[in-house]
Chain A
Amino acid sequence: MTNVPDQTTRPVFRAEGVTRVYRTGAVEVHALRGVDLTLNEGQMVVLLGASGSGKSTLLNILGALDTPTEGRVYFRDRDLTRATDRQLTAFRRDHVGFVFQFYNLVPSLTARENIALVTEIARNPMTPEEALERAGLPHRMDHFPAELSGGEQQRVAIARAIAKRPEVLLCDEPTGALDSKTGVQVLEALAQVNADLGTATVLITHNADIQRIAERVIVLADGRVVRDEVNTERIAPSEVSW
């Protein structure tokens, strides 16, 4: 593989000069300072960077959870920065799956119901059972989040993210709160989904070892892309440890 984007696959995301400035009172924080980026179909990307470098901000902007202060973000040919709130909602509903560091499950819904929350509004969803199967957690469907371990909760969150068969999966430190063994299980689930469904996946991590499972590694520093390279020696998630 080369540093050049694959010519046979089409880009899903294209970011051009994305800038995000947070204003709290008189203080201005430049979280992103002109990020240019293209993400292709089916790609597995790991996003690295020091704390505060803007990783979450970038992911949120790609997933239309937030809007850039300047610059453009395209999903396929659609300019997300010019979309209405309604169009952004439809975009999130139909094309993107999110996995967060703290799972963000609805505590009053069981594992199955947390997934149903998404399948009920998706266009072409799999069943909650299938999603849980794929996430490697077929047996705890009727448990409430409080009755599940962190790793199990994270796998429910992955099941919820993939149940709609999204084109992109955005994961913000999905293993951040987990120990090594459960973290590996979660990564395996993500890799499996990426392989089976061809879902482009962006994974934020602080763990440098995890970058070895990715096709491509992007490093942010102080709101800029400082490195963007293809990983030629991919390893299986089971070989990762920390």
Chain B
Amino acid sequence: MVRALDRKLLRDLRRIWAQTLAIALVLGCGVMLLVAANATQRTLVQSKQTYYERHAFADIFAPVTRAPVSVLDALATIDGVSRVEGRIAFHAVLDIEGMVEPAVARVVSLPGDPARMLNRPLLRHGRMPDPDAADEVLVNEAFGRAHGLEPGARFDGIIGGQLRALTVAGWALSPEFIYTVGPGELLPDERRSGVLWMNERAAASAQNMDGAVNDITLTLTRDADPRAVKAALDAMLAPYGGTGAHDRTRQISHSFISGELQQLAALATYLPPIFMLVSAFLVNMVLTRLIALERTQIGLMKAVGYTTAEIAAHYLKLAGLIGVVGVVLGGIVGWWLTDGMLFIYQEFFGFPFLIRDSGAGPMALAAVLGLATAILGAARAVWASVRLKPAEAMSPPAPPRFSRGIADRAFAWLAFRQTTMMILRSIIRWPGRAAITLFGVSASVAVLVSSYFMFDALEVMTESVFTQSNRQHLTLTLAQSAPEIAVSDALTLPGVLQAEGGYGVPVRLIHGHRDRLSALQGHFPGATLHRLVDDDSRPVTLPPQGLVLPEMLARDLGASPGDMLAVELMSPPREVLDLPLIAVIAQGLGQEAHIAAPALFEAMRMAPRVTHIHLLADPAQMDALYAEVKRTPALAGLSDWAEVRRQFDATVSENLLTMVAIYTIIGVLIAVGVIYNAARIQLSERSYELASLRVLGFSRAQVGYVLVGEMMLLTMLAIPLGWVVGTWFAEGMTEALSTDTVYIPFAISRRTYAMAAVAVFLAALASVLVVRRRLDRMDLAMALKARE
């Protein structure tokens, strides 16, 4: 049997269902974000971890120019090394049928017994290459699928400077290439960049590497010290042209995935607390009102012998129910959202399997937090009222004291209408509720600002990368550095209008005891195509001497302008240059060091050379140019910037509208929950007053103005506050979302502020108008009679 008190609870709940639902939705949003972000993050982490383990993903990577196979045994004796493997790895330009421009592949050698190798590929289709067939290769699944390269299909590639025909044996996935991006590219492009696995012997003969390797990977024992191992490796591999051992954090695929996971974790920690805090305030606001309305009922319950604890429990149950509804709704949507998010991540990552997190952990966490939120919100309201003595509770509360203060004199002087006075008085007399409304609505604005801000950041990055930094059509990456004359040679390629050289070299930057692996880019004077620009899209004029570093890299090194850095060149001539840090720039994408080319070559005491050639070409002759490039063995890669831009825009716009819609919905939900509840309470509290106005002959619109006016006034006050909080919030997010590879610039457009304001304003207006309709339908006789 349902107890009478519980029945009262259910009926109370039915009466204020819209209000409790509004709160439950706000709370549900927090729960949903918490569950979805956490469950997605855990699923991806577990899947990645298991994938890494099953396929023996290496811990340390050490590229060399050429090391004899014999050195591997010596490396195996380093303390902390579990397994060492040497392989032959290089880039190749491929000519794929049906594709005008060349594709670029990372080629990796397959040892004699692939079943035991590190970074073991997972065969997905077809078979492993026949060890005796020199032309057979595995291609990565995405590349094979993109080009329909079924087993048995053939294509051409420039391998070791020779044009060779290759045969597809099968498709594979690898933990090393979950996220693949070609050299010099920003986004993965499965058509234009791929991975090939080739028999060791074939790879060795193509690269002239018999009995030698150029890429060493190894796994560590459980208790190994990675720093010590890297140091030992660097020392032992220096004679063989080691360019510096690095761990997984510098491995492109891994660091990209880690970055994504880090962003998910940030999402899980940043947003849900706002929603929970707002719902706690709302529960408090609604319960305070409900308890005020039921004051005499509380007195009665006490009079007939209910204990304070029983009465408190009664109201806490109501809050608990709001919590349960929020948690259940948020949990269900969160579970479903997790599937959606995993689907999107899978499109990028393509894990061979997903170990779906049960979601029990995140769900339990969300349930505890959600319920605690509702109960804590209620606690204050409940506690204050159940403490009253029964006789006190049953007599009506002392009426609020309206006295004329300074504010009133000011209002009077301003000669406001009486209805406006009612609005202003109400805000001044119930500052607590006005404050909650103000806070809630500004939280809504802040959430929107900090969500839309991501698109601003993206735009800044795109603008800087595409229209300021890279104005060339194509960038050719040379297999080896060439004398500057190569730039003028490039002018003879078909359709080329302008050519510009660039020089990049892998380096280790050392400042005191800190060091970072990076690349040093030499910029030739007068370059107009490829330029160094900062986050404000301003081209940076390089100082005649010394280094320019992006902020984040300088911070990592603990270096500031004026400091001397040791720059260890990781490829020939492999010397250490001492260069001063001259300037630090704000730059998001790309964490590389920059220097004026003349200064670099002067320090290196050699004639200028180039590793990249940037081209401006006649679009009509692109096909001829591509055909020529594919036949040029000296090229390791090619970037088509128009294509990169197209891809980038497609990826972004594909998700943009959905993302804006989702953020807007959850953002304005806060405003809706706050305004709707505040207006309902307002209406309940002042129905006598408002009904009296109607009786005195005020029109519906005039009476409605008192209600709508107060809410909209608070909304207008909350918007600038929300802008400030949102800005501050976005600033925090740039920190949380920036990863080792991507620095999110801090930039908020006026459009973002305007959109957030408009969305919240409209949501607030709609919410208060819904309540106004109740006012219009108010039964005057009832309202006047039911004076509390």
Does A219 touch B at the CB level, under 8 Å?
A: no
- Residues in chain A near residue B8, CB distance under 8 A: 106, 108-109, 113, 117
Complex CA distance for A160 and B306, rounded to whole angstroms: 14
Q: Quick check: is B304 within 8 A (CB to CB) of the other chain?
A: yes
Chain B residues within 8 Å of A118, by CB: 304-305
The residue in chain A whose Cβ has the minimal distance to the Cβ of B7 is A113
Contact B305 A90 (CB under 8 A): yes
The stretch of A58-66, A72-80, A184-192 that contacts the partner chain: A58-66
- Taking the nearest CB of chain A, how far is it from the CB of B14, in angstroms? 9
Q: Are A98 and B389 in contact (CB under 8 A)?
A: no
User: Interface residue count for B (Cβ, 8 Å)?
Assistant: 26
CA distance A57 to B390 in the complex (A): 12
Q: 1/0 per residue A34-71: CB within 8 Å of B?
A: 00000000000000000000000000100101110000
Please indicate the chain A residues that have their CB under 8 angstroms from the CB of B301 in the complex.
117
Residue of B with least CB distance to A97 = B304
Distance A86 CA – B305 CA, assembled complex (angstroms): 10
Q: How many interface contacts (CB-CB < 8 Å) are there between A and B?
A: 74
Contact between chains at B304 and A100 (CB < 8 Å): no
Q: Is B300 an interface residue (CB 8 A)?
A: yes
- Which A-chain residue is minimally distant from B294 (CB atoms)? A106
A160 to B300, CA, bound (A): 11
> Are A108 and B15 in touch, CB under 8 angstroms?
yes
Instruction: Give the CA-CA distance A90 to B306 in the complex, in Å.
Output: 8
Partner pick for A89 among B300, B302, B392, CB 8 A cutoff: B302
Other-chain residue from B296, B303, B310 in contact with A65 (beta carbon distance below 8 A): B303
Inter-subunit contact B3/A120 (CB<8 Å):
yes
Central interface residue in A63, A94, A113, A122, by most chain B CB within 10 Å? A113
B308 partner residues in chain A, CB cutoff 8 A: 85, 89
Complex Cα distance, B300 from A107, in Å, reads 12
- With CB as the reference atom, state the residue of chain A lying closest to B297: A106
Q: Which residues of B, 1-51, contact A by the 8 Å Cβ criterion?
A: 3-5, 7-8, 11-12, 15
State whether A121 and B389 are in contact (beta carbons under 8 Å apart), knowing that A108-B11, A113-B4 are contacts in the complex. no
Tell me if B391 is interfacial: C-beta within 8 Å of chain A: yes
Who on chain A is nearest to B305 by CB? A93
Interface membership of B394, Cβ < 8 A: yes
Within residues 629 to 680 of chain B, which ones have a CB less than 8 A from any CB in chain A?
none
Complex Cα–Cα for A120 and B4 (A): 8
User: Inside 8 A of A90's CB, which chain B residues have their CB?
Assistant: 305
Q: Does B307 contact A (CB under 8 A)?
A: yes
Determine which of A94, A100, A109, A117 lies in contact with B394 in the assembled complex, contact meaning CB atoms within 8 Å: A100
Instruction: Please name all residues of chain A whose beta carbon is closer than 8 Å to the beta carbon of B5 when the two chains form the complex.
Output: 117, 120
Given the interface pairs A65-B390, A106-B297, A108-B15, the reply to whether A114 lies near B4 with Cβ below 8 Å is yes
Question: In the complex, which residue of chain B has the Cβ closest to the Cβ of A60?
Answer: B391
Q: Does A116 lie at the interface of the complex (its beta carbon under 8 Å from any beta carbon of B)?
A: yes
**How big is chain A's contact interface, by range?**
20 to 34
Residues from chain A with a CB closer than 8 A to the CB of B300 are 104, 106
Q: Could you tell me the distance between the alpha carbons of A116 and B7 in the complex, rounded to whole angstroms?
A: 11
A66 in contact with B4 (CB, 8 Å): no
B390 and chain A: residue at smallest CB distance: A65
- Is A92 interfacial (CB 8 A cutoff)? yes
CB distance from A138 to the nearest CB of B (A): 19
* Contact present for B389 and A104 (CB under 8 Å): no
Q: How far is the CB of B703 from chain A (nearest CB, A)?
A: 25
Does A121 contact B390, Cβ atoms closer than 8 Å?
Answer: no
CA A85 – CA B302 in complex, angstroms?
11
- Please determine whether A66 and B305 come into contact, CB atoms closer than 8 angstroms: no
Check B302–A104 contact: CB distance below 8 A.
no
**B391 partner residues in chain A, CB cutoff 8 A:** 60, 65-66
Which one, B296, B304, B389, contacts A117 given CB within 8 A? Answer: B304
In the bound complex, what is the Cα–Cα distance between A32 and B307 (angstroms)?
Answer: 27
Question: For residue B305, which residues in chain A have a CB less than 8 angstroms away from its CB?
Answer: 89-90, 92-94, 118, 121-122
Interface contact B389-A65, CB-CB below 8 Å: yes
- Scoring B304, B306, B389 by chain A CB atoms within 10 A of each residue's CB, the highest score goes to B304
B304 cross-chain contacts in A, Cβ below 8 A: 92-93, 98, 117-118, 121, 160
Given known pairs A66-B389, A66-B391, A100-B394, the reply for A116 and B4 (CB within 8 Å) is yes
Contact B394 A65 (CB under 8 A): yes
Nearest A-chain residue to B398, judged by Cβ: A24
In the complex, are the beta carbons of B4 and A92 less than 8 A apart?
no
Chain B 361-395 interface 0/1 with A at a Cβ cutoff of 8 Å (1 = within): 00000000000000000000000000001111010
Please provide the chain B residues from 592 to 621 with a CB less than 8 Å away from any CB of chain A in the complex: none
> Which residues of chain B come closer than 8 Å to A65, judged between CB atoms?
299, 302-303, 389-391, 394
Q: Identify which of A60, A86, A107, A108 gathers the most chain B CB atoms within 10 Å of its CB.
A: A108
Q: Name B306's closest neighbour in chain A (CB-CB).
A: A121
CA distance A100 to B779 in the complex (A): 28
Which of A67, A92, A114, A121 makes the CB contact (< 8 A) with B303? A92
Rounded to whole Å, the gap between the CB of B43 and the closest CB of chain A is 46
Nearest B residue to A110 via CB reads B7
Proximity string of chain B (290-318) to chain A, C-beta cutoff 8 Å, 1 when within and 0 when not: 00000011011111111110100000000
List residues of chain B with CB within 8 A of the CB of A120: 3-5
Task: Give the residues in chain B near A67, CB-CB below 8 Å.
Answer: 389
CB-contacts of A93-143 with B (<8 A)? 93-94, 98, 100, 104, 106-109, 113-114, 116-118, 120-122
CB distance from A74 to the nearest CB of B (A): 19
Task: Tell me, in angstroms, the Cα distance from A25 to B308 when the chains sit together.
Answer: 27
B297, A98: Cβ atoms under 8 Å? no
* A-B pairs, 7 with minimum CB distance: A93-B305, A66-B391, A108-B11, A65-B391, A117-B4, A116-B4, A65-B390
List chain A positions with a Cβ less than 8 A from chain B: 60, 63, 65-67, 85-86, 89-90, 92-94, 98, 100, 104, 106-109, 113-114, 116-118, 120-122, 160
14 cross-chain CB contacts under 8 A: A60-B391, A65-B389, A66-B391, A89-B305, A89-B308, A92-B390, A93-B305, A98-B303, A104-B297, A108-B8, A108-B12, A116-B4, A117-B304, A118-B304
Question: Which residues of B approach A to under 8 Å, CB–CB?
Answer: 3-5, 7-8, 11-12, 15, 296-297, 299-308, 310, 389-392, 394
List 9 extra interface pairs beyond A92-B305, A100-B394, CB under 8 A: A65-B299, A65-B303, A66-B389, A66-B391, A89-B305, A92-B302, A108-B12, A114-B4, A118-B304
